[in-house]
Structure 1
Amino acid sequence: MGGHIGSETHSYVLHILNSRPHPEQSYRFCLGLLNLHKKYSKARLNAACARALETKVWRLSGIKSILEKGLDKQPVQDPKPDLLSTMEHENVRGSEYYH
């Protein structure tokens, strides 16, 4: 399911099907996702699924939002680095200090 649209869509659908205790619970979600190719091109839907997989978006509304805002055409921004883990200063002690 979803393989005729693209490999990312196929991977996304498989993740959704496997994430539910009973795959039947996700059929309507998957049908809604696949119906989006009527409004958007297969390439855009596949790119949106790739972005959703990368950013861990698991709702149909999230996929629609990605498509409506054109985020499928933009690269995913790297998350901001954790400032506390990279902080180095003579007064900042690491975990080694406490052992």
Structure 2
Amino acid sequence: MPPDHQKYVTWNAERFTSWAEKIGENTAVVVRFFLNAHKVEQQGYKSCMALLKLADKYSVERLEAACAKTLSYTVRPSLKNVQAILKSGQDKLLDNKPAPETPPEASHYGFTRGAEYYKRGDK
């Protein structure tokens, strides 16, 4: 077997899962999905390798955040989902932003001008 092809013999589900777990739990979930999504496990190896190599291009933290974001809105993650999140920088956005509070003087009835506007006075 040519030397270039010998490295593919060492690929297996355990190796990809172990590699993904070193990155993070969300990445491991996505890798397990890729491996289980096909009838033949080896068909998912290319997707797993492409996903894990994204850590070289971006970073381990960003890949984990992108996988978490992907899993937050779909149960069937894809490589394209994760790539799109990384390219657009959505993984950097905070999901924990508190909802903006309404000012205490805001009315439930929609009067937004305030008491000063409606105040009667001498002209």
What TM-score comes out, normalization by structure 2 length? 0.57
The runs of 5 or more residues in structure 2 that have no matched partner are: 1-16, 97-123
2:63 match: secondary structure: helix
Match of 1:36 among 54, 57, 66: 54
Q: Which has the higher contact order (CA 8 A, sep 6+)?
A: 1
Residue in 2 aligned with 1:9? 27
Distance 1:63 1:11 in 2: 13
**Sequence identity of aligned pairs in percent?**
37
Residue in 2 aligned with 1:60? 79
Q: CA deviation at 1:58?
A: 2.6
- Residue type of the alignment partner of 1:64: Q
Distance 1:12 1:49 in 2: 7
Match of 1:26 among 44, 50, 55: 44
Residue in 2 aligned with 1:51? 69
Equivalenced residue count is: 76
Distance 1:55 1:17 in 2: 20
**Bigger CA radius of gyration:** 2
- Residue type of the alignment partner of 1:68: K
> RMSD in angstroms over aligned alpha carbons?
1.6
1:4 match: secondary structure: helix
Distance 1:23 1:53 in 2: 21
Distance 2:67 2:83 in 1: 10
Q: CA deviation at 1:71?
A: 0.9
What TM-score comes out, normalization by structure 1 length? 0.69
Q: Deviations over 1:9-39 (max 9, x none)?
A: 0111111211221111110000000000111
Residue in 2 aligned with 1:71? 90
Q: CA deviation at 1:59?
A: 2.4
